[in-house]
Amino acid sequence: MQIKKIFNYLKPPKKWLWPVNFVLAVFIGLFCYAMYVSNAVSYLSDDPRTCVNCHVMQPNFASWQHSSHRNVATCNDCHVPQNNFLAKYMFKAEDGLRHAAIFTLRAEPQVIQMREDGIKVVQQNCKSCHINANQNVQLSTVSYEDALHGEGKLCWECHRQTPHGRVRSLSSTPYARAPLLKSPVPDWIKNMNKEE
């Protein structure tokens, strides 16, 4: 009953019904096209090729591809929380929206660096995957906050080459081999252009 009242309140007057529906259809169409062009659905997967939807990630993808981690971990295994489903997808959504805004505005830095939230996640995931090795060197309890206060080290302070190497920028790997992105142009438009 309450929902019907809300719907009636939001419903435009009859003379505005067609223009409002037209504008809504345009926005929905633009939104769907943006989702298609940006390959947005791919971000729900754990496929590492998703990370190179943005060209600035190609050096990171190429360096990971030549590392030992390639056989055991994807980008999301290290860079996204693994403690529960909700935390994983909330982090992906927040980080993805921030990345999309940066890349859309062409504000990406030459050298990608992790933010504090990302550092915490990677440190936790390193400790989780390497729990047996960490017990031998007493690093299983070191957190980002501990390292910040000089009470231990982050895993990659010693393992700098793992898995991305020391130097990672667009200029350091200008010919990074990464999978070619699928063209955002629909096949029917390509076929139409070939016929002409």
- Which amino acid is located at 102 in the chain? I
Compute the distance between CA of residue 69 and CA of residue 152 in angstroms, rounded to an integer.
24
CATH assignment of the domain containing 55: 1.10.3820.10
Q: How many domains does the structure of the chain reveal?
A: 2
149 and 114 share one domain: yes
Buried b / exposed e along 123-154 (16+ C-beta atoms within 10 A): bbbbbebbeeebeeeebeebbbeebeeeeeeb
Q: Which residues of the chain have pLDDT under 70?
A: 1, 55, 134-140, 166-184, 196
Q: For 34-61, what is each residue's pLDDT tens digit?
A: 888 777 788 888 888 888 877 677 778 8
104 and 144 share one domain: yes
pLDDT of residue 26: 97
Residue 25 belongs to some domain of the structure: yes
77 and 28 share one domain: no
Q: What is the pTM of this model?
A: 0.69
139 and 70 share one domain: yes
pLDDT of residue 117: 92
